[in-house]
Chain A
Amino acid sequence: MSIEIIQNILIVLLAAYVTLDNLGITIVNYWAVTTGMIAGFIMGDLKTGLLIGGTFQLMSLGVAGLGGASVPDYGLAALVGTFLAARTGSGLTAAIAVGLPVGLLAINFDVLVKILNNFVAHRMQTYAHKHEFEKMRMIGLVGPLMFALKNAIIMTIIVSVGPKAVNAILAIIPKWVTNGLNIAGGMLPVLGIALLMHYMPVKKYIWAVFIGFVFSAYLKLPIIGISILGAAASIIVYKVGLSKSEAKASTANVDSNNEETEDDDYDE
């Protein structure tokens, strides 16, 4: 019993820490796979933590919260999923069934904290104008505190009522629903991949996509092998680009009136 309480406390603390790490320090970060691994370690079930963390990691590939956008919280999903799967022994299905909705709901709290931070910002500036600089720095700590609390509160709720609720839900849930959730788990990575194609110059370097596809789908090359192949291709592209821009720079020096320059920007 007491070990369970220690585990609960550590899981809540982990949830609070990883979100802070993600915002600034970014060493452990908030990746599903790293948080899942640590959560699995805490729960004494590293294998489950890795399985659930890895599954959510693959789902989240390419989903990035850029420019302050709020995205599904896959790190939290992995945490919730690992905790529940390890505590109830219910496996991946329960992790997806509960972890994913929690990760989606967490977006709203993320937005809420960012709205509340607006008040913190105004408070800080007011203190600055009043020349109360120590107070200005103190109130600034409210931002990280709110982010940490956001996760800690969600996790505390999960830890206290989660296992019972999950067992109750799993008892009444029909087979086709759990089956469907597993199918969704296999399909969801598609979103990240499609998003990635939007961020990256896919039209300019479509050949790289084809090479990657052929080597993995037909030739079954493992992902590390493909990464090395990709690294080799990047070196070539970098060298060619460098010599191109040097050539351009030298022609620009010779004839500064020459306006014709090749467009090197992203296509998209």
Chain B
Amino acid sequence: MTSKIDETTTITAGNKKVEITKKDRHHAILRWMFMGSALFNYETQQATSVVWSFSKLLRKIYPDDDEYVQALDNHFKYFNTTTAMANIILGATTAMEEKDGIKSKDAVQALKTSLMGPFAGIGDTIIWVLLPTVMGSISGYMAINGNPLGALAWILIGAIIFWIRLKLFDVGYNSGVKLVTEFGDKLSLFTDAISVLGLMVVGTLAATVVKVYTPLTFMTGKVKLSVQTGIFNNIMPALLPVCLTYLVYKMLNSKFWTPTKIIVALIVLSLVGSFTGILGVMPTK
């Protein structure tokens, strides 16, 4: 695929000539970047969002009504991936449809279904897990101490990512099917590497964010011994939080313990702990 995004593609259908410009394509992808998962449904997931966003551009590619409906029906089929990563896939499919028209129908469908899984794996990990973990813990801490800079920086990062997503569409459009597939391969190594950063933050979070504290004390003779500072803290800092983290990690392996059930269980545990005096609010140093 040699066509470039800044070039104009001319489609000839009968005596009608339609020009598709970079502006048309960016209009479509901006519609997608607004709609995203807002038309998410349990049957075809993001498919309707794709149709809604690209319907105007596809109309230009398919001036013929029957072909247009066929193309729309093609996009009405199940599609779901990270919204940001979809930009690359949709860039590539746009290039295919501009080049081959309705003949590309099956290839477009094949590309979408084969890439949406791996791209979601990579995109979700980076955009919805790693970035929010790192930025969330940084900005969360700063916010608790009354500092808004972390949250503001996060919004700025959102704006930068918005620009990158627009570029990802151009990358998909210009590079075509083969490069998009190769890009995916490299990204999986990138995801793996950046997971190391995420896991280091996970180790930190277990030690600092989770707070489990017991105000219990033992009386041995005349000496009063605090269970927390006298015993647990001497074994290891953040011993109780680490144990709780491991316990919840194991609970998630079972089908019974959904995240919502775990939240309710932790609230009940806290209330019982508070009532019996086994658990307390950690005193601020």
Using a CB–CB cutoff of 8 Å, the interface residues on chain A facing chain B are 20, 23-29, 31-34, 36-37, 46-47, 50-51, 53-55, 57-58, 60-68, 71-72, 100, 104, 107, 114-115, 117-118, 120-121, 124-125, 128-129, 131, 133, 136-137, 140, 143-144, 147, 176-177, 179-184, 186-191, 193-202, 205-206, 208-218, 223-224, 226-227, 229-231, 233-235, 237-238, 241-242, 245, 264, 266
A144 B35 Cβ-Cβ under 8 A: yes
Are A67 and B80 CB-contacts (below 8 A) given A212-B203, A216-B208, A230-B201?
yes
How far apart are the CA atoms of A26 and B139 in the complex, in Å?
17
How many A-B pairs have beta carbons closer than 8 Å: the answer is 379
| Segment at the interface with A among B9-17, B18-26, B101-109, B127-135 | B127-135
A184 B270 Cβ-Cβ under 8 A: yes
Closest to A240 in B: B193
Candidates B151, B159, B251; contact of A53 at CB < 8 Å: B151
A27 B155 Cβ-Cβ under 8 A: yes
B249 A128 Cβ-Cβ under 8 A: no
Q: Which residues of A contact B259 (CB under 8 A)?
A: 63, 71-72, 191, 195
Candidates B76, B137, B249, B280; contact of A223 at CB < 8 Å: B137
B202 A212 Cβ-Cβ under 8 A: yes
Candidates B36, B161, B208; contact of A24 at CB < 8 Å: B36
**With contacts A57-B136, A66-B128, A144-B38 known, what are 12 further pairs, Cβ within 8 A?**
A23-B37, A25-B162, A120-B39, A131-B69, A140-B39, A184-B270, A193-B245, A206-B199, A209-B203, A216-B204, A218-B237, A230-B198
How would you classify the secondary structure of chain A's contact residues: helix, strand, loop or mixed?
helix
* Least distance between B261 CB and chain A CB atoms (Å): 10
Candidates B146, B197, B252; contact of A195 at CB < 8 Å: B252
Closest to A216 in B: B204
* Least distance between B138 CB and chain A CB atoms (Å): 5
A33 B266 Cβ-Cβ under 8 A: no
A46 B148 Cβ-Cβ under 8 A: yes
Q: Which residues of A contact B190 (CB under 8 A)?
A: 238
How far apart are the CA atoms of A32 and B132 in the complex, in Å?
11
* Least distance between B39 CB and chain A CB atoms (Å): 4
Q: Which residues of B contact A227 (CB under 8 A)?
A: 134, 138, 197, 200-201
> Can you list 23 A-B contacts (CB < 8 A)?
A26-B36, A28-B158, A29-B154, A31-B132, A31-B151, A33-B139, A37-B143, A37-B148, A50-B143, A64-B124, A67-B120, A128-B69, A133-B68, A140-B48, A143-B49, A179-B274, A183-B270, A194-B252, A195-B259, A201-B199, A217-B238, A234-B197, A238-B190
Instruction: Confirm or deny: B6 has a beta carbon within 8 angstroms of a beta carbon on chain A.
Output: no
| Segment at the interface with A among B91-99, B170-178, B209-217, B221-229 | B209-217
* Least distance between A51 CB and chain B CB atoms (Å): 6
How far apart are the CA atoms of A176 and B267 in the complex, in Å?
13
Q: Which residues of A contact B209 (CB under 8 A)?
A: 58, 61, 189, 193
Candidates A58, A188, A229, A235; contact of B140 at CB < 8 Å: A58
Are A143 and B38 CB-contacts (below 8 A) given A25-B162, A46-B148?
yes
Are A68 and B45 CB-contacts (below 8 A) given A230-B201, A231-B197, A241-B192?
yes
How far apart are the CA atoms of A212 and B43 in the complex, in Å?
42
Q: Which residues of B contact A143 (CB under 8 A)?
A: 35, 38-40, 48-49
Closest to B159 in A: A27
A194 B212 Cβ-Cβ under 8 A: no
- Among B114-168, those with CB < 8 Å from A are 120, 124-125, 128-129, 132-134, 136-144, 146-148, 150-152, 154-155, 158-159, 161-162
Instruction: Confirm or deny: B57 has a beta carbon within 8 angstroms of a beta carbon on chain A.
Output: no
Q: Which residues of B contact A27 (CB under 8 A)?
A: 155, 158-159, 162
A230 B76 Cβ-Cβ under 8 A: no
How far apart are the CA atoms of A22 and B259 in the complex, in Å?
21
* Least distance between A151 CB and chain B CB atoms (Å): 12
A200 B202 Cβ-Cβ under 8 A: yes
B199 A199 Cβ-Cβ under 8 A: no
Are A51 and B146 CB-contacts (below 8 A) given A58-B136, A190-B248?
yes
Instruction: Confirm or deny: B179 has a beta carbon within 8 angstroms of a beta carbon on chain A.
Output: no
B69 A205 Cβ-Cβ under 8 A: no
* Least distance between A265 CB and chain B CB atoms (Å): 9
* Least distance between A16 CB and chain B CB atoms (Å): 12
Are A193 and B202 CB-contacts (below 8 A) given A50-B148, A227-B197?
yes
How far apart are the CA atoms of A58 and B145 in the complex, in Å?
13
Instruction: Confirm or deny: B282 has a beta carbon within 8 angstroms of a beta carbon on chain A.
Output: yes
Q: Which residues of B contact A29 (CB under 8 A)?
A: 154-155, 158
* Least distance between A3 CB and chain B CB atoms (Å): 22
A54 B202 Cβ-Cβ under 8 A: no
B241 A190 Cβ-Cβ under 8 A: yes
A187 B269 Cβ-Cβ under 8 A: yes
* Least distance between B233 CB and chain A CB atoms (Å): 11
